[in-house]
């Protein structure tokens, strides 16, 4: 029992691996400034990775913009799609007068059904 090698060791608390023979990939730091709280966040990325122009501010959770030569990068949002709502897609298929006519038909059916239940009850 006394010859066990892990006796007295806190399992899981310390790693038994070493960093010997490990080669780390090159890294690059990018600074992001938040326009809301005016604080800077430094993020470390792999040198091979393309750094995003925007990052979430760690202090206020708003959008922070990457700084290049101490100036914020201009982010172009013109090509981003705007989320379409159910109403927008409905208007693509039908006109407003058609929708009003359908609504009136459905309301008439519901009113008739409600009226017939009162009589039968």
Question: How does pLDDT run across 72-111, given as a tens digit for each residue?
Answer: 888 887 777 888 899 999 999 999 999 999 999 999 999 9
H helix intervals, 1-121: 86-93, 96-120
Residue 33 within a domain: yes
Is 55:41 a contact under the CB 8 Å cutoff? yes
Relative to beta strand 27-34, strand 54-56 is: unpaired
Residue 6 within a domain: no
Distance CA 106, CA 94 (A): 16
- Number of Cβ within 10 Å of residue 75's Cβ equals 11
What pLDDT score was predicted for residue 120? 45
> What are the Cα distances from residue 44, in Å, to 24, 32, 34, 100?
13, 11, 17, 56
State the DSSP H helix or E strand holding residue 61, giving kind and residue range, or none if neither: none
What pLDDT score was predicted for residue 24? 85
Mean pLDDT of the chain: 84
62 and 92 in a common domain: no
Per the listing, tokens 């070493």 go with 18
Domain holding 61: CATH number?
Answer: 2.20.28.270
Does residue 1 register a pLDDT over 60? no
Number of structural domains (the chain) is 2
What pLDDT score was predicted for residue 22? 83
Residue 59 within a domain: yes
Which of 5 and 55 is assigned the larger pLDDT? 55
Q: Which domain holds residue 99?
A: 81-115
Is 66:72 a contact under the CB 8 Å cutoff? yes
Does residue 50 register a pLDDT over 70? yes
Map residue 40 onto helix, strand or coil. Answer: strand
Residue 1 within a domain: no
Percentage of residues in the chain with pLDDT exceeding 90?
53
What pLDDT score was predicted for residue 116? 66
Going by C-alpha positions, the residue among 13, 8, 3, 59 that lies closest to residue 36 is 59
Which of 13 and 92 is assigned the larger pLDDT? 92
């Amino acid at each position: 029992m006394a010859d066990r090698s892990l006796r007295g060791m806190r399992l899981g608390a310390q790693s038994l691996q070493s960093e010997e023979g490990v080669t780390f990939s090159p890294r690059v730091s990018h600074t992001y400034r938040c326009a809301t709280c005016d604080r800077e966040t430094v993020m470390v990325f792999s040198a091979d990775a393309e750094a995003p122009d925007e990052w979430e501010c760690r202090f206020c959770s708003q959008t922070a913009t990457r700084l290049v030569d101490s100036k914020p990068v201009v982010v172009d949002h013109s090509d981003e799609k705007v989320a379409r709502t159910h109403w927008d897609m409905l208007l693509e298929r039908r006109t407003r007068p058609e929708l009003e006519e359908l609504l009136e038909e459905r309301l008439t059916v519901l009113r008739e059904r409600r009226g017939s239940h009162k009589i039968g009850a």
